[in-house]
A and B are shown apart, each in its own frame.
Chain A
Amino acid sequence: TQLLEQSPQFLSIQEGENLTVYCNSSSVFSSLQWYRQEPGEGPVLLVTVVTGGEVKKLKRLTFQFGDARKDSSLHITAAQPGDTGLYLCAGSVRTDSWGKLQFGAGTQVVVTP
């Protein structure tokens, strides 16, 4: 059982559409990170959120951390083909987890021109 549940598992949209990916847990996280991974490559860090209720924007990407620090969402506005990839959320349950991130199963996003 994954500590972090991501939904949906797969998302296929047209260029220009918006999308939202969700990451939920019953556990409280001290911090939560979002990564994007392309086939055969390592995950690339997009953002880290640490404060409940925090909202961070990175160009067309908006990240939100829930007030209770148990959930997060990633919203992409006007998606482009370059946004295609596997989006992973990951978190640390405790500040002394020493390098251990719990990962969600990922959301595969495909943006077609």
Chain B
Amino acid sequence: KAGVTQTPRYLIKTRGQQVTLSCSPISGHRSVSWYQQTPGQGLQFLFEYFSETQRNKGNFPGRFSGRQFSNSRSEMNVSTLELGDSALYLCASSLTGASTEAFFGQGTRLTVV
């Protein structure tokens, strides 16, 4: 069965632009979580979606947003990009999101210049 698919794998954007990242979870998984990974902060939780609803949110500014579609695919958007937003963005899928096993995609490497 196919794993978690994230697109694109790499992205270079300019400060002030916005970006949209996509995540397709494992078939049958309804929970999608997003994480930001940087060398200094490690993996930080952004938000989680289940059945098109955001159920949990981390401590990130409002420039970071997301949504989930009826087929469980999810997108995250970052507006007004800053240099500090450069990171590996990871999506994780799980059956229900309630302390269940999470499976990660390969990530999207975002570089802001």
Contacts and interface: CB of A to CB of B under 8 A. Distances in A.
A42 B48 contact: no
Chain A binding site: helix, strand, loop or mixed by DSSP? loop
B111 to A, nearest CB: 12
Contacts of A40: 88, 106-107, 109
Contacts of A35: 104
Interface in A68-113: 88, 90, 92, 94-106
Nearest to A43: B104
B42 A103 contact: yes
Chain B binding site: helix, strand, loop or mixed by DSSP? strand
Given A31-B99, A33-B102, A97 B42 contact: no
A90 B94 CA distance: 14
Nearest to B93: A99
B89 to A, nearest CB: 10
Q: How large is the interface on A (under 10, 10 to 19, 20 to 34, 35 or more residues)?
A: 20 to 34
B42 A2 contact: yes
Contacts of A2: 42
A99 B50 contact: yes
A100 B101 contact: no
A100 B56 CA distance: 7
